[in-house]
Amino acid sequence: MLGPCSPAQEAAMTFSPPTTAPLDALPATPDYDAWPIEVAIQHVSHTPRQVEVRWEDGRVSRYHSIWLRENAADDSTVNPATRERILDLSRLGAWPTVSEARLDDAGALEIVFAPEQRRLRFHPGWLRAHDYANLDTPEAPLVPTTLWKGSERDAPTTLDAHDWLSADDDPLAPDACLESALEAVIGEGLVRLRNLPTDPGSLDAIARRIGPPRTTNFGTLFDVRAKPDPDSNAYTSIALPPHVDLPTREYQPGLQLLHCLENDTVGGDAVMMDGFAVAEALRERHPEHFATLTRVRWCYANTARTTDHVWFDPMIKLDANGHFDEVRIADFLRGPLMAPFEDVEPAYAALMALQRLLREPEFALRFSYAPGDMVIFDNRRLLHARDAFDVGQGGRRWLQGCYLERDEARSRLRMLRRAHRRQCVDALAHG
């Protein structure tokens, strides 16, 4: 709550509830989104450096004057064509303070800022959505993270994607299948789509429903099948241990897509496991080994005939809030450990504890590919593996793969959710 107000500040308050006004009477927002007004503002008060908003449901929100001034939507603050900020706060001459704050006839927050004496309006739906004083956490996740073990499920989250390529390409068009797929990938790290086309190269169009594929030294689309002169173990028929792809890069790809075009071989089951769940088990059972793997920087190297990618990083990385951010686990892509002398034995002890966990059956989810199946998984979280397969007697196993970034999945999901909000606003506008 705010402290006591001076008589002048008391005079600037308004206690009248908002009147019903057309939606087009509301101010713009500093973005391209649509913000439905689910709860109206009931009461506004202020001090020079804070504004307090009381909503009709009893919630109280507080905003700093400087935060409000920087997040206004007028053409002195943002370029109306791009919605990118043009305001430089340091050029205002003094700290922006509130000389007047009231609720206008459209139900918007109206503020006069000193020293500019500039009158600016704020959209109530946008303010409510950006109520930072009532956040449970500093950064609310787009989708909550769910850790899982293979023993807890029979198959990945699976969706029928037969109309994936026939859906509307308008980024603001609703798409239930795409939205569900992205929520599964972001929250669980994995989704399986079925009934996709099996035309070679169709993966490019499939991937672009989310975002542009990332090109690497393996190309934009790569073929995962046994070939005579392989430059990766993936291009053989041997079993592959649990791993992430390209930990040898400063920024390893965020998502991987594997699209099955043909598969009539014996064996070759896909194996997936949640690297975050494995890391959490390591933290619970061996906290000292967990701490070591979050600290010691391992060498990851892919020294192929025509490329030489090397990067150093911990095997388990946490974000600024202490949550799991990525794992870099790929034994066949580790170079010589170049750590301080006293860290070498603890690092190998921690590595072997992790390796033993990776062999525990409870973590692995095993399933087969049928033509038209595709998996999308978080390559910085999910470990993928493969059983050996037999290519004898004419059997064929052909997957095509590509990489995307986590950013593209998050952006696409935000656009789909923006479409829902726009529908809601449009419905209110038309009664």
Segments making up each domain of the chain, as ranges: 7-135, 150-415
| CA atoms in the 13 A half-sphere facing the CB of 171 | 13
Look at residue 389 in the predicted model and tell me its pLDDT.
Answer: 78
What pLDDT digit, counting tens, does each position of 388-398 carry? 877 666 578 89
Dihedral-angle region of residue 234 (phi above 0 means left; psi in -120 to 50 means alpha; beta otherwise) = alpha
Look at residue 11 in the predicted model and tell me its pLDDT.
Answer: 36
What pLDDT digit, counting tens, does each position of 94-127 carry? 999 999 999 999 999 999 999 999 999 999 999 9
Look at residue 7 in the predicted model and tell me its pLDDT.
Answer: 35
Rounding to the nearest 10 degrees, give the CA dihedral for residues 402, 405, 410, 413.
-20
pLDDT band per the 50, 70, 90 thresholds, residue 424? confident
Which residues contact residue 122 at a Cβ distance below 8 angstroms, ignoring those fewer than 6 apart? Answer: 27, 68, 72, 73, 108, 109, 110, 111
Which whole number is the average pLDDT over 406-419?
96
Look at residue 396 in the predicted model and tell me its pLDDT.
Answer: 85
Tokens linked to 121: 């309006």
Cβ-contact 191, 156 below 8 angstroms: yes
What pLDDT digit, counting tens, does each position of 198-244 carry? 999 999 999 999 999 999 988 999 999 877 677 677 777 788 899 99
Residue linked to tokens 């769940």: 277
Cβ-contact 248, 379 below 8 angstroms: no
Residue type, 365: L
Q: Could you tell me the pTM of the whole model?
A: 0.87
Taking the C-alpha atoms of residue 300 and residue 332, their distance in angstroms, rounded to an integer, is 9
- 150-415 folds as Double-stranded beta-helix (3.60.130)
Mean pLDDT, the chain, as a whole number?
91
Taking the C-alpha atoms of residue 346 and residue 353, their distance in angstroms, rounded to an integer, is 11
> What's the CATH class of domain 7-135?
alpha beta
Q: Which of 19-23, 124-128, 316-320, 393-397 is least confident?
A: 19-23
Q: Which of 14-28, 76-90, 238-252 is least confident?
A: 14-28
